Amino acid sequence: MKIVSTPENLQVLHEDNHIIVINKRVGDIVQGDQTGDMPLSDIVKLYLKKKYNKPGEVYLGVVHRLDRPTSGLVVFAKTSKALSRLNESFKNRETQKTYWAVVKDAPPKVEDTLEHFLVRNQKNNTSKAHNKEVPNSKKAKLTYRMFHQLKTYSALEIDLYTGRHHQIRCQLSAVGCPIKGDLKYGADRSNPDGGIHLHARKLTFIHPVTKETLTIVAPTPDEVIWNNIESK
């Protein structure tokens, strides 16, 4: 059964006076879009309003996003100062993002660095990977390592070096390893919850105020394949 995030069941991984880190569920949208569905940013605002009995509007800044069908770590800023500092930090790649993905079949190598040039198609909201630079393309780079194998799927740990549109989904598909459930990029069938098996697992970043290095890990969704991987 698909669980939707609410102020009551929000998965808070870290909170202090300046930031709040949420484990996003499959299907949550980080910011409002044309669907009109309540975004995670508004749900977090309601959570903070209720928790601290705040009158009026609650400030919350969106630092980065995750695709709707994915799960995992999302950082929000609770002050404008924290937001501007985090924006700068993320822009300058002073963060280390690690993802987990469940893909069809085993990748060509147990571990590898993938470099492509991605072209975004605004009309159908996809990206296409090219091996060489082409007009309007942006360089995309990631490293993956296969750390667990199931009967028909493999679990990969991925470190991102660039942050392109649908980068992991597109690059893995380009080497013959579409993510489980990701029909947009070549999966055979959809997942029951409409999500894909891509999870923002770990984030290391510099706290915008205390300047300490934080490393936060997000538990995977409570689902058979993820549970199998998490228990290893």
Q: Has residue 61 been placed in a domain?
A: yes
* Rounded-to-integer distance, Cα 28 and Cα 17, Å: 24
Which residue has tokens 């991102």? 160
Residue 38, pLDDT score = 92
81-98 confidence digits (pLDDT tens): 999 999 999 888 889 999
How buried is residue 67: exposed, middle or buried, by Cβ count under 10 Å (0-12/13-18/19+)? Answer: buried
Q: Has residue 37 been placed in a domain?
A: yes
Structurally, the chain folds into a number of domains equal to 1
Average pLDDT, the chain: 94
Q: Has residue 6 been placed in a domain?
A: no
Q: Has residue 7 been placed in a domain?
A: no
Residue 1, pLDDT score = 63
Residue 143, pLDDT score = 97
CATH of the domain at 28: 3.30.2350.10
Percentage of the chain with pLDDT > 90? 83
Q: How far is CA 222 from the centre of its chain?
A: 17
Query: Is 117 within 8 Å of 134 (Cβ atoms)?
Result: yes
Q: Has residue 45 been placed in a domain?
A: yes
Mean pLDDT to the nearest integer, 107-134: 95
CB atoms within 10 A of CB 204: 14
Residue 5, pLDDT score = 94
Mean pLDDT to the nearest integer, 132-143: 96
pTM of the model: 0.94
Mean pLDDT to the nearest integer, 185-203: 96
Indicate if the alpha-carbon torsion angle 143, 12, 178, 153 is positive or negative.
positive
Residue 105, pLDDT score = 82
Q: Has residue 96 been placed in a domain?
A: yes
Q: Has residue 4 been placed in a domain?
A: no
* Rounded-to-integer distance, Cα 15 and Cα 13, Å: 7
9-13, 31-35, 160-164, 182-186: segment of lowest average pLDDT? 31-35
Query: Is 83 within 8 Å of 61 (Cβ atoms)?
Result: yes
Query: Can you give the residue range of the structural domain that contains 130?
Result: 12-231
Q: pLDDT band at 4, cuts 50/70/90?
A: confident
Q: Has residue 102 been placed in a domain?
A: yes
